[in-house]
Amino acid sequence: MNSVSLGLREQAFIGGHWVGADSGVTFAVNNPASGAVLGQVPDMGAAETRRAIESCARALPSWRDRAAKERAHIMRRWFELIMADQERLARIITAEMGKPLAEARGEIAYAASFIEWFAEEGRRIYGDVIPGPTDRRLLVFKQAIGVTAAITPWNFPSAMFARKVGAALGAGCTMVVKPAELTPFSALALAELAERAGVPAGVINVVTAKDPAPVGLEFTQNPLVRKLTFTGSTEVGKILLRQAAENIQKCSMELGGNAPLIIFEDADLERAVEGAIATKYRNSGQTCVSANRILVHASIVDVFAEKLAAAAGALKVGEGTEAGVAIGPLIEEAAVEKVERHVADAVARGAKVLTGGARHALGGAFFQPTVLANVPADALIFNEETFGPVAPLISFDSEAEAVRLANATPYGLAAYFYSRDVARVIRVAEQLEFGMVGVNETLISTEVAPFGGVKHSGLGREGSRYGVDDYIEIKYVCLGGL
Ligand code: NAD
C-alpha cells in the first residue's frame, strides 16, 4: 500500500485546523522495514505548541461544561469510526514502526477500547457527601483538571495516544499531544477521525516536532497546562518531572520496565513456553511490559530452554505486511546496536546462544529471535531494558532467590510467573514489587484494568476506573448555616 491509500495526513492539527510549521520546515518519516520515506510532517517548536495550548484553553469551557452523556456520544462515534477504519489504521502503524499487521490490527482494537471505555466511564465520575456536624454539609466535587498535555512513544503509537486522550476527554479535559517523531502518522489519523466524529475544534491538538525538547519545555512551563502525561523512557521522564516541578504540574509517568518472568518447578511448561513467546517476541520485544529476564528453576531449566529455543527459532521474521510474519524489524539501527551489545556482553560473561544471536539475513533493522542460556545476574541484559527479541535465561534454586532476583531492579512495571501452587501464587504475587503481575498469563493489558508501574517505572495508572483519577481535581465544599 502506498502513502495515498494509507491516507496519511502530512499536517499538524491545532485549534481544529490542519497546519504546517511557522517556518514551513518539515521532516521525513521512514518505514523501518524498507527505509522508504512514507511522508513529511511539520517540524514545530515552542510557538506552535503555545498556540495549541491556547486553543485547548479556549475549547475547555464548552467541552468541560456540557453533559457527560453528550461527551460520551461523541466519543462513542469516534470509537466506531476507528473500528470501521481498523485495517487502514493498522497499516499505518505497520508502515511507520514495523510491527506485524496482525499485531497492528490488535493495537487498533486496543486503542479504540480506551475511547469506548472512557466514553462510558466519564458518565460515572461521582462526587461524595461526607457525614459531618448537623449544621453543615460536607461535599466533594470532582472536576476536570483542565488543559492537559501528552507525550507518546513510538512502540504503541495508536494505543498510547488513545489511552491518554480517551481519559482526558472522558473527564472533560482538553489535550495537546506530541507523538514520537518516528511515528506521528498514527496520532494524526486518529485526530482526523475525532474531528469527523464531532470532537469540537481545540479539544484535541496534535503538534509534530523533530526535536521534542522545545515542545516538552513549553508543555511543562506554560501555566495553562495543569497536567502532563508521558509514556517513554525513564531518562526522559526524569527530565520532564524536573521541568514540571517549577510549575507544580500534576504528572503521570509510564516509564521503562525490566520485567521478570519466573518459571517455577511446578509450572505447566507448555503454557509457560507459550506465555514466554507471547511476552518476549510480541512487537519484536519492543514493549515496556516485555519479559526482559526469564528466571527458571534449576530443575527444569534445560528442558524449558530447549522448548523455548525451538519455538523462538520457528518464528518467521520479515516485513510486517507479509503473511505469517511474527517478528518485524526493530525501530531503527540504534536499537539493533543496543541488542547486539546486550548479546555480546552476555556471551562474554559466559552465556550460551541457543538460537539466533545476530542480525537477520534480511539486513537493515531485522534481528533474529534469540534465546540465551546461563546468563549471569551482572549481565547488562539483566539490568537494562533490551527492547529487542532476546530471551535471557537465568536459573534459580529457591522461591526466595527467584523473588530476590526479580525485585533486584530499580524498575517495577510488570512481572509474570508460572506456578500451580495456590499458596505460592498468593505469596509471590504479594512480594513482587511491580505495578502489574501476570500469573500463568503474560498478555494482561486491557482497558478495564489499571496499567502502570512503581519505583522507576512511573507514577499513576492508565485505563480502568482508576485511569480517570489523574484527570480530576477534588474540591471540598463545606456548606454551613443549615
Ligand atoms: P523516549 O523517552 O526516547 O521517547 C518517548 C517520547 O518522549 C517521544 O515522543 C520523544 O519524542 C519524547 N522526548 C524525548 N526527549 C524529550 C525531551 N527532552 N522532552 C520532551 N519529550 C521528549 O522513549 P522511546 O524510545 O520512544 O520509547 C521507549 C521507552 O518507552 C521504553 O523505555 C519503554 O519501556 C517505554 N514505554 C513505557 C510504557 C509504559 O506504559 N510504561 C509504554 C510504552 C513504552
| Per-residue pLDDT reduced to its tens digit, 448-480 | 999 999 999 999 999 999 999 999 999 999 999
Helix (H) or strand (E) segment spanning residue 205: strand 204-206
Give distance in angstroms: CA of 114 to centre of ligand 1.
Answer: 20
Residue 2 has pLDDT above 90, yes or no: no
Q: Which of 29, 156, 235, 236 to mutate to test the pocket of ligand 1 (most atoms within 8 A of CB)?
A: 236
Q: Is 410 helix (H, G, I), strand (E, B) or coil?
A: coil
Q: Which of 288, 331, 387 to mutate to test the pocket of ligand 1 (most atoms within 8 A of CB)?
A: 288
User: In 3D, which of 97, 241, 117 has the Cα closest to residue 158?
Assistant: 97
Mind listing the pLDDT tens digit for each residue in 410-432?
999 999 999 999 999 999 999 99
Instruction: Count other C-beta atoms under 10 Å from residue 22's C-beta.
Output: 13
Helix (H) or strand (E) segment spanning residue 426: helix 422-431
Q: Are 158 and 190 in contact (CB under 8 A)?
A: yes
Q: Which of 43, 107, 155, 186 to mutate to test the pocket of ligand 1 (most atoms within 8 A of CB)?
A: 155
Q: How many residues does the chain have?
A: 482
Mind listing the pLDDT tens digit for each residue in 243-262?
999 999 999 999 999 999 99
Rg (CA), the chain: 23
Give distance in angstroms: CA of 465 to centre of ligand 1.
Answer: 25
Mind listing the pLDDT tens digit for each residue in 126-139?
999 999 999 999 99
- Ligand 1 atom 39, closest CA: 254
The ligand 1 atom nearest the CA atom of 152: 9
Is 218 touching ligand 1 by the criterion CB < 6 Å?
Answer: no
DSSP labels, 346-362: HHHTT-EEEE--SB-TT
Give distance in angstroms: CA of 124 to centre of ligand 1.
Answer: 31
Give distance in angstroms: CA of 462 to centre of ligand 1.
Answer: 16
Residue 285 has pLDDT above 80, yes or no: yes
193 CB-side CA count, 13 A? 29
Is 155 touching ligand 1 by the criterion CB < 6 Å?
Answer: yes
Mind listing the pLDDT tens digit for each residue in 313-357?
999 999 999 999 999 999 999 999 999 999 999 999 999 999 999
Mind listing the pLDDT tens digit for each residue in 162-212?
999 999 999 999 999 999 999 999 999 999 999 999 999 999 999 999 999
- Ligand 1 atom 19, closest CA: 213
Residue 157 has pLDDT above 50, yes or no: yes
Give distance in angstroms: CA of 229 to centre of ligand 1.
Answer: 11
Give distance in angstroms: CA of 216 to centre of ligand 1.
Answer: 12
Q: Residue for cell digits 496482525? A: 102
Is 437 touching ligand 1 by the criterion CB < 6 Å?
Answer: no
Q: Residue for cell digits 486522550? A: 165
| Burial per residue of 143-167, b for 16 or more beta-carbon CB atoms within 10 angstroms, e otherwise | ebbbbbbbbbbbbbbbbbbbbbbbb
Give distance in angstroms: CA of 180 to centre of ligand 1.
Answer: 8
pLDDT-based confidence at 435, cuts 50/70/90?
Answer: very high
Is 413 touching ligand 1 by the criterion CB < 6 Å?
Answer: yes
Helix (H) or strand (E) segment spanning residue 319: none
Beta strands at 414-418 and 411-412: parallel, antiparallel or unpaired: unpaired
Q: Are 75 and 169 in contact (CB under 8 A)?
A: yes
Is 189 touching ligand 1 by the criterion CB < 6 Å?
Answer: no
Is 310 touching ligand 1 by the criterion CB < 6 Å?
Answer: no
pLDDT-based confidence at 4, cuts 50/70/90?
Answer: very low
Mind listing the pLDDT tens digit for each residue in 286-302?
999 999 999 999 999 99
DSSP labels, 100-160: -HHHHHHHHHHHHHHHHHHHHHGGG---EEE---TT-EEEEEEEE--EEEEE--SSSTTHH
- Where in the sequence numbering do the catalytic residues fall? 254
316 CB-side CA count, 13 A? 10
The ligand 1 atom nearest the CA atom of 458: 41
The ligand 1 atom nearest the CA atom of 215: 20
Give distance in angstroms: CA of 211 to centre of ligand 1.
Answer: 13
Instruction: Count other C-beta atoms under 10 Å from residue 302's C-beta.
Output: 13
Mind listing the pLDDT tens digit for each residue in 52-97?
999 999 999 999 999 999 999 999 999 999 999 999 999 999 999 9
pLDDT-based confidence at 3, cuts 50/70/90?
Answer: very low
Average pLDDT over residues 3-7: 74
Is 217 touching ligand 1 by the criterion CB < 6 Å?
Answer: no
Is 462 touching ligand 1 by the criterion CB < 6 Å?
Answer: no
The ligand 1 atom nearest the CA atom of 181: 11
- Ligand 1 atom 42, closest CA: 288
Is 154 touching ligand 1 by the criterion CB < 6 Å?
Answer: yes
Percent above pLDDT 70 for the chain: 99
